[in-house]
Structure 1
């Protein structure tokens, strides 16, 4: 069976390992902490899903946006581990191990996932060149007047 694009990425497999750990850790949370449990599950699930979705996007800017979301979700997981530790819901060693794994996963993603330059609102930067009529066009030859407004 052929692998999908995201299944070739080591960072995807590491994010699945972290998800497995996070789903095990939510069992430590008391029943009254449903919101915290759900937030941790959502953030941990978001990491591999955004890596997978980003790997399927042809435009670099789209890929970069999804990978950035995955990195942000990994950071959120680390913060949630701090909250759980401070509240006494997780054994300190378990919380610290999970936080370290989430941080290393974020760093791994930062170093090993392709990146492109992004400006506000997730649009890729395109260097402008001038044309004879002075209207300008992007590097890929698209006229400035044909682009969607920022």
Structure 2
């Protein structure tokens, strides 16, 4: 692998961010500095931490950044769930996002476990 860009989990998390941003336009304008901002930041944190961790020279550092990415994913999943429960967005609006986030979660878990086994 030549780059973090070759990692499927990074590619999928980048795709996830591109799904999140348009969804935020459906949220109320008064949430621009609240929930919308939080969701955008936590979603961007996922591929960013995957890339940063990949750039580290030590497996332990890489694993730690993958754990941070996973934490940001969980944070964003929770924030989206809050937006659904507050009826800012619908569950139907989030179908593709939820499916992809489950895939990313499994891939991050697998990569973290693989690094810890070595």
Q: CA deviation at 1:93?
A: 0.8
2:18 to 17, 20, 25: 20
Q: CA deviation at 1:4?
A: 5.5
Distance 2:94 2:85 in 1: 10
Bigger relative contact order, structure 1 or 2 (CA pairs below 8 A, ≥6 apart): 2
Match of 1:116 in 2: 116
Q: CA deviation at 1:103?
A: 2.2
Q: How many residues are aligned here? A: 115
SS in 1 for 2:30: coil
| Cα deviation code 1:15-53 (max 9, x no counterpart) | 001000111111111111121000000000000000000
Match of 2:53 in 1: 54
SS in 1 for 2:29: coil
Match of 2:37 in 1: 38
Distance 1:96 1:79 in 2: 15
Match of 1:80 in 2: 79
Greater fraction of residues in helix: 2
The gaps in structure 1 that reach 5 residues or longer are 118-150
TM-score, normalization: structure 2?
Answer: 0.88
Distance 1:41 1:4 in 2: 28
Distance 1:78 1:22 in 2: 11
TM-score, normalization: structure 1?
Answer: 0.71
Question: Where do 4+ consecutive residues of structure 1 move more than 2 Å?
Answer: 112-117
**In terms of Rg, which structure is larger?**
1
Distance 2:46 2:109 in 1: 13
The question of whether the paired residues in 2 share the 8 Å contact of 1:77 and 1:99 is answered with no
The gaps in structure 2 that reach 5 residues or longer are none
